[in-house]
Amino acid sequence: MKLLVAVDLSPVSAHVVQAAQQVAAAMDAEVVVMHCAAPEPEFVGYEAGPEGVRDHVAAQIWQEHSAVQEIAAQLRAAGLDATGLLVRGPTVETTLREAERLGVDLVVVGSHGRGAVSKLLVGSYSEGILRNSPVPVVVVPTRT
């Protein structure tokens, strides 16, 4: 069995990873910890953007990649088969594409527990995954 654990690197991620660790340990599952980095802004390409902007984006991606690798290392230290993955793109679409590409059996995501107004204005990642995932989804309820 293979789990895809989607993390946003906010405080919610610790709760999501903890729940996924319990599921993975109980099912002897392989774990892929994935973070979707923000897509490259269309107005600032690596070729055309100012050097300062490129350096800032590169540093941010490096930090996010390091954080994902640290989470995977913690899961390996707990005895699980875990890898970290950082991809860029729209979060829902990218998560679903990677879940299919990796052949996962279960997706684990967190829910920030925001209200209806926030959901209306910015949408809901976990809802998008639930509505469109071809595999079962575990939503870890959290409040920060």
Residues 8, 10, 15, 17: is their CA dihedral positive or negative? positive
- Backbone region of residue 103 per phi and psi (left: phi > 0; alpha: psi in -120 to 50; beta: other values): left
Looking at the domain 2-141, which fold is it?
A: Rossmann fold (3.40.50)
Determine contact, residues 15/42, Cβ cutoff 8 Å.
Answer: no
Q: What is the pLDDT of residues 82-112, one digit of tens each?
A: 999 999 988 999 999 999 999 999 999 988 6
- Tell me the average pLDDT across 35-46: 67
Which residue(s) pair with 85 in the sheet? Answer: 34
Report residue 18 CA to chain centroid gap.
Answer: 14
pTM for the full model?
A: 0.84
Which residue(s) pair with 5 in the sheet? Answer: 33, 108
